[in-house]
Amino acid sequence: MPLAQLAVFWVLFGVLFGVRPRTATGEQAYAIFLFVGLLPWTYFATALTGGATSIVANAAIVKKVRLPMELLPASAVLSAMVNFLLSLAVLFVVLAALGPRHPQGLIYLPALVAVQTLMSVGLAYLLAALNVFYRDVQHILSVLLMAWYFLTPVLFPVSIVSDPEQAALLHVNPMTGVIVGYQRVLLDGLAPEWGSLAWPLAFGGVMFALGYRYFQRAQWSFEEWL
């Protein structure tokens, strides 16, 4: 799916419209720019989708096997992260072959993965518990993720938003700071904008605290509702 999206959007924007996104160090090839943003977004969307269905999809295990149920949403996020890291290896090969080559930026990559994972785990716990009681959550989530995707600077660079108020509104989206961080690290070899990354970190911390607490309180009713 990520490769299919990459091909479609590259043909549409990169070839037909000739879009040349500009980052901190200048213009970038659209296909590579898109690839850099698409991988972390796919990790995020896959983690939330898998996390939301982790309890319902494993109802037989939940009812028959005594295990810490917190492992199920966490394992969904971990699985998505493993796929993301494998995809990053492919991206590194592409960057090494075609550029831009900024290996010095890789030292900041663990910080971005950590912030994104914290946010993903917290939301996964919250959605997993809610989906047990309200089965439409997983279907509503797919619609919300599609809208969220187009409001996140994956297909477009943040540099096209010149109005300060619109730029501030764009950064209300916690994934904006994360995606821009990946673009700065991998395409420009620069550190993330720590101010922009503070909001995703705070959002992730709050979501983890709320999501984990709600999951722990709700898990005693799972067997009844499953």
Q: What pLDDT, in 10s, does the model give residues 66-124?
A: 788 999 999 999 999 999 999 999 899 989 988 888 999 999 999 999 999 999 999 99
The stretch 134-159 carries a mean pLDDT of 93
Residues 181, 38, 142, 56: what is their CA dihedral angle, to the nearest 10 degrees? -90
Distances (CA, A) of 35 to 42, 61, 87, 127: 10, 37, 10, 28
Give 175 or 13, the one with higher predicted confidence. Answer: 175
pTM, rounded to two decimals: 0.92
Q: Is the pLDDT of residue 16 over 80?
A: no
Residue-level pLDDT at 2: 67
d(CA 68, CA 25): 47
Sorted by sequence, the CB contacts under 8 Å of residue 29 that are 6+ apart come out as 14, 20, 98
Q: What residue spans of 99-136 are helical by DSSP H?
A: 109-133
Q: Over the chain, what is the mean pLDDT?
A: 91
- The confidence band for 18, taking pLDDT boundaries of 50, 70 and 90, is low
The stretch 28-34 carries a mean pLDDT of 89
CA angle in degrees (0–180, nearest 5) for 122-182-191: 110
Q: Is the pLDDT of residue 168 over 80?
A: yes
CB-CB contact of 66 with 146 (8 Å): no
- The confidence band for 30, taking pLDDT boundaries of 50, 70 and 90, is confident
Sorted by sequence, the CB contacts under 8 Å of residue 125 that are 6+ apart come out as 51, 70, 73, 208, 211, 212, 214, 215
d(CA 34, CA 26): 15
Amino acid (one-letter) located at 216: Q
For residue 157, the SS3 value is coil
Q: Which helix (H) or strand (E) holds 26?
A: strand 26-27
